[in-house]
Chains A and B, each alone.
Chain A
Amino acid sequence: MLYPRIIPCLLIHNKGLIKTVRFKDPKYVGDPINAVKIFNEKEVDELIVLDIDASVEQREPDYKLIEHLAAECRMPLCYGGGIKTVEQAQRIFNLGIEKIAVSSLAVEQPGIVAEIARRVGNQSVVVVMDVKKTGLRNRYELFTHNANKGRGLDPVKFAVQMQDLGIGELVINSVDQDGMMTGYDHKLIDAVKEVITIPVTVMGGAGSLQDMGEVIRKHSIIGVAAGSLFVFKGKYKAVLISYPTPEVKEAVFKEYFHP
């Protein structure tokens, strides 16, 4: 039987790992390679690593770092940050990454995203949608560049466009819920899931395994990602890298996963 995926998401800023709240107030949480080693031991389902500086600074992906991450990682790894060309994507795959994630590229040059999917296989291309509520009517809007650039696009329509383009996975990231640890934005997830048949991973807001369970209960096969939940402990947010043990994970599936 195929299972939902429980995924830590790590953000890289100035070569260190950080965690944000609503994409702001970055808090240093450690060294990326060290974190990967810990997640190896904990046998995590998958890992998402996003370099949040690359696109903003308009620089190339940090290949040295990606190479280290890929070599160390004994689980599937999705890397995002600064990918702008087919050649860059190809180079990253050759370093041993399973999936690449793009966001601003998908908005600005969808043709390149389609070309990457055609060249390397659509299963390896992930689009991350950073979504924030805007305006008086709190409409969902797509953002890029660490939520600094509103794109005036409706995430539901955009998700359909991306699916039609031939991508393999969609990550729905709620900017409003980022780091809040009060649960995912179900309204957003439901709206996108309604129109999509490719795999979806949700991010932003997980404060407990129960929060993840609620998404699994509703959508069964889905990726549930979290940052804070797996890097902080306690109400004062002491840095401690954690992940559910196989037994705890089984218990979550038993309670919430009924396909």
Chain B
Amino acid sequence: MITIIDYGLGNIRAFQRVFEHLKVEVSIATCADDLVSATKLILPGVGAFDYAMTCLNHSGMRELLEKKVLSEKIPVLGVCVGMQMLASKSDEGVLPGLGWIEGSVKRFNPETIPFKTRFPHMGWNSVIPVNHSPLMNGIQSDSRFYFLHSYYFEAVHPGHTIATTIYGAKFCSAVQRENIFGVQFHPEKSHSNGVKLLHNFANL
């Protein structure tokens, strides 16, 4: 069963709706007990990094979450700020991240962005899968996904990057380390491409 972690942030219902549509069993966790039966996890997130970390740290779910992901190694997908939370730290805040994938969260360098409009990086941009991750199965190069953010995940190991996108410079728009996945864009709001990606996650 896919369990969506509800720590007060993110499009819980949008994910639920997509999985229901795909006839995938889905549940929502608001406390540690709800995580027990999870075999896959979605970690959504919108907003500021520190606020998101604070909410998760106070949700009472973090300990079991780490056990499920790091010891039992069930697949987890961090989305948007949920992906950024996988890193050890962020330029946006002072709190440490989860540190599940080696990397840090950086702010885009405005100098590299060719448009007068710079922040946030908002709208539909092309995603280019690299390093053959099962999450990106069947996703054509240059498929468009919806982005809404000003910071991005910079992976320490190039092998952890499973998709790139260009906004001024090339940045990592999806990561994977073993059972831990993250996407900077919003698959739950990216029409058929997003549905395909979430279907891939469900099929892992």
Interface of B is mostly: mixed
Distance of A196 Cα from B117 Cα, bound (Å):
8
**Shortest Cβ distance from B2 into chain A, in angstroms?**
17
CB–CB A2/B123 < 8 A: yes
**Shortest Cβ distance from A202 into chain B, in angstroms?**
12
Distance of A221 Cα from B186 Cα, bound (Å):
19
Give which listed residue, B13, B17, B120, B188, contacts A122 with CB less than 8 A.
B120
- Give chain B residues whose Cβ lies under 8 Å from the Cβ of A222: 117
**Interface 9-residue window, one of B59-67, B96-104, B146-154:** B146-154
* Total cross-chain contacts (CB, 8 A): 121
Distance of A74 Cα from B13 Cα, bound (Å):
11
Give which listed residue, B12, B117, B119, contacts A200 with CB less than 8 A.
B117
Mask, A102-121, CB within 8 Å of B = 1, is 00000000000000001111
Distance of A73 Cα from B16 Cα, bound (Å):
12
- Give chain B residues whose Cβ lies under 8 Å from the Cβ of A73: 14, 189
CB–CB B122/A94 < 8 A: no
Chain B residue nearest in CB terms to A1: B126
Distance of A223 Cα from B124 Cα, bound (Å):
11
**Shortest Cβ distance from A235 into chain B, in angstroms?**
32
CB–CB B13/A67 < 8 A: yes
Distance of A73 Cα from B144 Cα, bound (Å):
18
- Give chain A residues whose Cβ lies under 8 Å from the Cβ of B18: 74
Mask, B3-38, CB within 8 Å of A = 1, is 000001101111011100000000000000000000
Of residues 56 through 89 on chain A, the ones whose CB sits less than 8 Å from some CB of chain B are 67, 70-77
- Give chain B residues whose Cβ lies under 8 Å from the Cβ of A221: 115-117, 123
Of residues 119 through 164 on chain B, the ones whose CB sits less than 8 Å from some CB of chain A are 119-126, 144, 146-150
Give which listed residue, A4, A67, A96, contacts B123 with CB less than 8 A.
A4
A2-B123, A99-B148, A119-B51 given. 15 additional CB < 8 A pairs?
A: A1-B126, A2-B147, A3-B124, A45-B124, A71-B13, A74-B191, A76-B146, A96-B12, A98-B46, A119-B47, A120-B48, A197-B116, A197-B118, A198-B117, A219-B116
Mind listing 13 A-B residue pairs with CB under 8 Å?
A4-B123, A70-B14, A77-B189, A118-B48, A119-B51, A120-B47, A121-B47, A121-B48, A122-B120, A123-B119, A123-B150, A197-B118, A198-B117
